[in-house]
Structure 1
Amino acid sequence: MRIEQATPDDVDVISVILGEIEDYYGGTAAPGDPEQIRAALFDGRPAATVLLARDGEQVLGLASYSLLWPAVGADTSLYLKELYVREAARRRGVAGALMEALRTEAARAGCSRVEWTADADNPLALAFYQTLGTEPRDGKIFYRAELP
């Protein structure tokens, strides 16, 4: 298995995986719009970076992240938005490899920490994050404002 940063050639597989993620969370299992993905990841001002876990040509999973500023003082943090391992590749160390790659990316970018959220009703994810030696943090409440 190798972890690589996604390129414009990966838009189609990212689109399919986004559909799988929607299905996993109970939404409509429709692929993501390739043009929106291309604009978000590969235009002049990318919104995120995607790491892909591969076994040969097969994509096993992805991690999508952005850098946030400020973190502590004037530090930067790496914010993991999505960690997803495709069903056939689960329990094979893919998520752990992606998390390790995220730590490497954060260190390379000079970040002081890696941060993420997890759904309270996803016990498998919560158990996995606990195996990393992390504990849930108190003190923040998550908000979301939808735009028209």
Structure 2
Amino acid sequence: MEQKPDVALREATPDDVPALLGLVRDLAVYEKAPNAVEMTEALLSAALFGETPLARAVLAEAQGKSLGFAIWFTSFSTWTGRAGLYLEDLFVAPHARGRGVGRALLRHLAREAIRLGCARLEWSVLDWNAPAITFYQSLGAEPLDEWTRYRLHGEALGRLAQEN
């Protein structure tokens, strides 16, 4: 796995679930939604390490302390006929920003996308998160302004599922 002088990246293991969940909660605080995290250690463990894993996670560490993470999964494009790599969340702890941790995590994912034959690497960013947007654009990422993301959840999801 990739290393910088004081930062190491590695695939998460089941033992990392508590640290990952802590980082997810830190991300929720940063994104101004501290009470939005419903995930538990059991749910995260099942998603990453269960019988049919739904996602993968990479941790960035220095001196045994977690600095950040990326959680991703594969998607599929009917236009390219190939998989894509979708970055669900990327977070670098505030004290670790500016050290190349985010760049290292994205470089790792870009390499993984190429290794898997993916046509693209995609993610979403909150429109108010100017530091992240500036960072992503510095890497050559382009916003997809013509697309609007939709979400069906909660009662609306249940209603649709119950229709005849």
- Deviations along 1:84-117, whole A, 9 cap, x unmatched? 0011101111000001000111111111111111
Within 2, Cα distance between the matches of 1:107 and 1:134? 16
Deviation at 1:37, TM superposition (A): 0.8
- Matched residue, 1:21: 27
Within 2, Cα distance between the matches of 1:24 and 1:71? 34
Within 1, Cα distance between the matches of 2:32 and 2:147? 26
- Deviations along 1:25-55, whole A, 9 cap, x unmatched? 1122679411111011110111111111111
Q: Percent identity?
A: 34
Question: TM-score, length-normalised on structure 2?
Answer: 0.84
Change (3 A) 1:78 1:42: same
Change (3 A) 1:109 1:34: same
RMSD: 1.6
Deviation at 1:19, TM superposition (A): 1.1
- Matched residue, 2:91: 84
Letter in 1 for 2:143: P
Q: How many residues align?
A: 148
Structure whose CA Rg is larger: 2
Q: Which runs of 4+ in 1 moved over 6 A?
A: none
Question: TM-score, length-normalised on structure 1?
Answer: 0.93
Letter in 1 for 2:23: I
Contact 1:15 1:33 in 2 (8 A): yes
Select which of 114, 126, 130 maps to 2:121: 114
Letter in 1 for 2:32: G
Within 2, Cα distance between the matches of 1:139 and 1:6? 35
- Matched residue, 2:154: 147
Alignment partner of 1:7 is 2:24? no
Unaligned runs of 5+ in 2: 1-6, 156-164
Within 2, Cα distance between the matches of 1:132 and 1:59? 24
Contact 1:53 1:60 in 2 (8 A): yes
Alignment partner of 1:38 is 2:45? yes
Unaligned runs of 5+ in 1: none
